[in-house]
Structure 1
């Protein structure tokens, strides 16, 4: 077994020592950006040397980033460089603007391609977009990091893509999981055989049946979890046993609506701290749900593993004309130490919205929570007391069961 670098096989003690040194340095660098200097005001970086200390810092939400960009375009003061000092400026839906740099695998996806077996002699058929959004450049940068060549294909013009794949002999697909099927179906229609043996995918759900259908064609498919803001967050190795967290970030799983880490194995929101010196995001909430997997990967990589994407953490729901947010549910729980977890359920009876607030507690007195529910959620609802540990481990604090059919 070969590894991208020695970072992938560090012991727990080595990782702790590295964190104690690098985390304070990262916070000091982050404070050179105006936005992070404001967010970290009063924080003494030299005291933040562990994951536990990091968990005491505020969480940054994408909505805050968006609002900051409106006031101070294009990056909202979150970068340590001025906009013209980046080689690229990208726009994602929202719009959200992200910086990009060439060289040194700035988004760090080379680690993922290496784990997928991509390297010298490969030509990557890159079907990620090059227009406005950064995904195309992210994977091109990764291919260069592992000395592979790139066909910058993007999407569309499928017949031409098949022709190019055949003529050039592209060996690796990069793109969303489902777009590969479109290319393969078109190749079948044209009577052409492609040389693809690996697929590196992201940006969509890779269903087991789809992965198997590619395997039946001799294409080994692995996926990664990455964003335009943070670069690589986690990736699959050939062991196919969870996703291994990238060495350039710290991942925490927190209770939605809070910055409080959940116990290992419990589903929560993915919060990421990036060590990118140009774009240093600290405790950035992705809005995605996942959970930590116990143990280490059978492939020998020792970093923390997560279960991959498990849904969205932003479960804001309108009930009886009022928005109920995960942050409000978190406040409700914080008011009563005997409540372990809470879940707001929205139902419908005829044309009426119904709200049930399920509380994990040993208490038998539902009435004692009525005033807190009204104060925090701004709505009255039925209170249901349930046994601790009985709510589903799915990361949901707000569940919408309503049907409008």
Structure 2
């Protein structure tokens, strides 16, 4: 089943002509309406009229998260604030958060691409979509919500958390489509069994899972536990949110909606374009977004392009499953975290030393973080109740900083490994490579 055959199955010739037309319009709008882009273009001597072919996109400077933070909050908007009807934000991982603005037309585009995603999962107007992505400033919950409305499905805005209640809703409402992180899906399966509910007896037929890296093994486990079709969804706040790409039933890569997003893969070190099939950094350009056009945004996600014909009938290029990132960012339960955030919090608390390790595990299919921190000599020799109070204080402070509950383990002074080179701060014990 295909939501929009006119575009999703269009010929390569028509697609390229449409992309070029929309690219020229987007570049012109960005140059005229966004001073930051005009400055970047002028610095390299580039004018909108210089974009004559799709290949000319390589002459456009890259955009990075740092660029967006530099003009926080509204400096990347190409529309007046009176035309912006919705705001979303990424987490402020290394300083200022990234703010994304949407016009009414942008919301319509978001609903369209998400309708395509949900349709790839088999959703129709007769389905019940239980949306367990978080609602709020993050984009996950709202993207699914708009897409479900577009196709006419019933949406249950469950958001994240309150797992037992989620299971009850699935059982009582007869939920057929589940949307959440893959690790949370597995956790819900375990909770269901604890409640005496066999997950395979639920009416779920498919799930759109994303916001974190996950393996083929995890897919198989989710499908086994729930007896559903587990499909991969991809997106990011800077581009539009979820809905940039999605797997079809063939599960051989995620179709990028190329009529709205121009996709490239580059060498992360040189910035040079890489051929199809070669793994590198994903770069995306919006082709239709009004409120905040993005030109050659470096996602830092590692993938490759697949252009072979897909038997599902869609002609859009695909990207392989995201294999990692080019920086040291940690993605846990769909939230982006940097070790720097935790380090900064540790240094603000008296009674501990600036020596720590972050250990990430997935013991019950849900990501968990343990932060091991060395106590000062004075704390180590203190009363047990004082040590326990310090541990709880650190846990609370770190959770307030990163938005995720962690386990803090206080260890004796000089017990953590030292290094003369780069310190090994993060130990990720999750299996991320298939």
The answer to whether the superposition gives a TM-score over 0.5 is: yes
Q: Which residue of 2 is the match for residue 39 of structure 1? A: 40
Q: Offset of 1:105 from its aligned partner?
A: 4.2
Q: Which residue of 2 is the match for residue 129 of structure 1? A: 134
- What per-residue deviation string (whole Å, max 9, x for no partner) do you get for residues 229-278 of structure 1? 11232211001111111131001101114432112222111111002122
The answer to whether 1:57 aligns with 2:55 is no
Q: Which residue of 2 is the match for residue 98 of structure 1? A: 100
Q: Which residue of 2 is the match for residue 302 of structure 1? A: 315
Q: Offset of 1:98 from its aligned partner?
A: 1.9
Q: Which residue of 2 is the match for residue 385 of structure 1? A: none
- What per-residue deviation string (whole Å, max 9, x for no partner) do you get for residues 88-110 of structure 1? 22232112222245651436322
Q: Which residue of 1 is the match for residue 4 of structure 2? A: 4
Q: CA RMSD in A?
A: 2.7
Give secondary structure in 2 for the equivalent of 1:88: strand
Q: State the aligned residue count.
A: 323
Structure 1 stretch displaced more, 27-36 or 277-286: 27-36
Is the Cα contact below 8 Å between 1:100 and 1:106 reproduced in 2? no
Q: Which residue of 1 is the match for residue 188 of structure 2? A: 183
Question: Aligned equivalents of 2:129 and 2:52: distance in 1?
Answer: 40
Q: Which residue of 2 is the match for residue 270 of structure 1? A: 282
Give secondary structure in 2 for the equivalent of 1:109: helix
Q: Which residue of 1 is the match for residue 392 of structure 2? A: none
Question: Aligned equivalents of 2:102 and 2:164: distance in 1?
Answer: 31
Question: Aligned equivalents of 2:131 and 2:419: distance in 1?
Answer: 49
Question: Aligned equivalents of 2:9 and 2:205: distance in 1?
Answer: 27
Question: Aligned equivalents of 2:19 and 2:307: distance in 1?
Answer: 20
Question: Aligned equivalents of 2:216 and 2:300: distance in 1?
Answer: 24
TM-score (norm 2): 0.69
Question: Aligned equivalents of 2:167 and 2:39: distance in 1?
Answer: 51
Question: Aligned equivalents of 2:265 and 2:195: distance in 1?
Answer: 47
In structure 1, runs of 5+ residues without a counterpart are 317-349, 355-399
Is the Cα contact below 8 Å between 1:80 and 1:277 reproduced in 2? yes
Question: Aligned equivalents of 1:292 and 1:141: distance in 2?
Answer: 28
Structure number with higher relative contact order (C-alpha < 8 Å, ≥ 6 residues apart): 2
Q: 1:283 to 1:188 in 2, by over 3 A?
A: same
Q: 1:23 to 1:105 in 2, by over 3 A?
A: closer
Q: Which residue of 2 is the match for residue 372 of structure 1? A: none
In structure 2, runs of 5+ residues without a counterpart are 330-417, 428-434
- What per-residue deviation string (whole Å, max 9, x for no partner) do you get for residues 282-332 of structure 1? 11111111111241222121122221212112369xxxxxxxxxxxxxxxx
Structure 1 stretch displaced more, 265-274 or 201-210: 201-210
Is the Cα contact below 8 Å between 1:127 and 1:173 reproduced in 2? yes
Give secondary structure in 2 for the equivalent of 1:46: helix
Structure 1 stretch displaced more, 19-28 or 307-316: 307-316
Is the Cα contact below 8 Å between 2:121 and 2:208 reproduced in 1? yes
- What per-residue deviation string (whole Å, max 9, x for no partner) do you get for residues 343-376 of structure 1? xxxxxxx95449xxxxxxxxxxxxxxxxxxxxxx
Q: 1:296 to 1:89 in 2, by over 3 A?
A: same
TM-score (norm 1): 0.73
Give secondary structure in 2 for the equivalent of 1:163: helix
